[in-house]
Amino acid sequence: MENAKEILALIEKHDVIAIFAHGYPDGDCYGCQMGLRSLLRAHYPNKKIYALGSGVPKLFPILGEMDQIKEEDLKDALGILVDVSTLVRVESPLWKACEEFAKIDHHEMGPNDDPFPGPAIVDTSRISCAEILGDLCIEWGFGFNALAASSFYTGILTDSGGLYFEGVTRHTCDLLDEFFTFDIPARKILDTYYAEDPKVTEYKKWMKKNAKKEGQVCYLRAYPKDYQAYGLEFEKASSLVNALDGLFEAKIYVYFCEREDGWTRVEYRSNANYPVVEVARSFGGGGHRYASGSTVIHGKPDPMEIVKALNRVNGDE
């Protein structure tokens, strides 16, 4: 891979390495962090390797907990970003303490994003960052272990919707086969990750009941009073965009979930090859071609302007 040698040289140069990922962590970014941390610790036992952010707590008993450190612990450190395109989208603010940076990712950069200050490996055709990272570790000569295999498996399976989404290839499956040479607790991982709180189930029913359609777009606006009535916090409620999938046979669905301070998380999805990323970028966000995100602050821009923009999106040929 291009830049693989440059990133490995940085890893070998630094005695302290911190692995960062995006906000509202999912199975891919968390799996990448746990898998890479495990292999780096095994390969470089004298280095200090940290995985920073909130992770996916319900998987901690299976794949491991995040590290808790202070800014001074990252003096002269290398920051490695996984599954996140730019520094401003990194969840942990401790990235600011690092001396140098590298990145492994599968998200598209937006035209207004700041250039990344270090070597990067980005392949937007990959279904998950974990797939890229698995290949990279093979190229580096890092032998997998059970924890790394389980972690990368988690990343691939969750970001691919259980191998359902477009982007899964024969190579994806070959890499999974490589992981299964180890004793992966696959059923336990997926049962734990997808276990649903009854409160979430009831809130999803509310979402489906209150969603609306305009043109080719299914949309829903949710306010704190809506999800708090079901005992949910913003962090959980705002992640449930896929509950709208399939409603009204819409080509695009978008979910606006407002936080108590007036900041709104906007999640865009397409289940019919209608690219939404350019609309997300035009409103200050970004992401994948058919799955993106942005923010609305105190109603600006008006969410209905976003819906109108999505109605101008044409399907891929």
Looking at the domain assignment, is residue 223 inside a domain?
Answer: yes
Looking at the domain assignment, is residue 270 inside a domain?
Answer: yes
Kindly give the parts of the chain with pLDDT less than 70.
317
Residues 25 and 167 in one domain: yes
Is the separation of the CB atoms in 101 and 84 below 8 Å? no
pLDDT digits (tens, 9 = 90+) for 262-297: 999 999 999 878 999 999 999 988 888 888 999 999
Residues 123 and 255 in one domain: no
pLDDT for 1 equals 86
Q: What is the mean pLDDT of the chain?
A: 94
Which residue, 193, 211, 235, sits at the end of a domain? 193
Is the separation of the CB atoms in 255 and 241 below 8 Å? yes
Looking at the domain assignment, is residue 248 inside a domain?
Answer: yes
CATH number at residue 181: 3.90.1640.10
- Tokens 């911190």 map to which residue? 18
For residues 103 and 85, give the distance between their C-alpha atoms in angstroms, rounded to a whole number: 8
For residues 152 and 134, give the distance between their C-alpha atoms in angstroms, rounded to a whole number: 7
pLDDT for 113 equals 79
Amino acid identity, residue 95?
A: W
Residues 6+ apart with CB under 8 A from 146: 182, 183, 184
Is the separation of the CB atoms in 81 and 20 below 8 Å? yes
Residues 239 and 270 in one domain: yes
Which residues sit opposite 214 in a β-bridge? 217
pLDDT for 287 equals 83
Which residue, 160, 193, 226, sits at the end of a domain? 193
pLDDT for 111 equals 75
Which residues sit opposite 122 in a β-bridge? 105
pLDDT for 7 equals 98
Which residue, 161, 193, 225, sits at the end of a domain? 193
For residues 173 and 219, give the distance between their C-alpha atoms in angstroms, rounded to a whole number: 34
DSSP state of 259: -
Looking at the domain assignment, is residue 277 inside a domain?
Answer: yes
Residues 32 and 100 in one domain: yes
DSSP state of 183: -
Domain count of the fold of the chain? 2
Residues 125 and 222 in one domain: no
Looking at the domain assignment, is residue 316 inside a domain?
Answer: no
pLDDT for 77 equals 98
Residues 26 and 174 in one domain: yes
Looking at the domain assignment, is residue 85 inside a domain?
Answer: yes
Q: Which is nearest to 67 in space by CA: 102, 104, 130, 20?
A: 20
Looking at the domain assignment, is residue 315 inside a domain?
Answer: no
Residue 224's domain spans which residues? 198-310
CATH number at residue 266: 3.10.310.30
Looking at the domain assignment, is residue 186 inside a domain?
Answer: yes
Burial 53-62 (b: 16+ CB within 10 A, else e): bebbeebeeb
- CA torsion sign for 45, 87, 160, 127 is negative
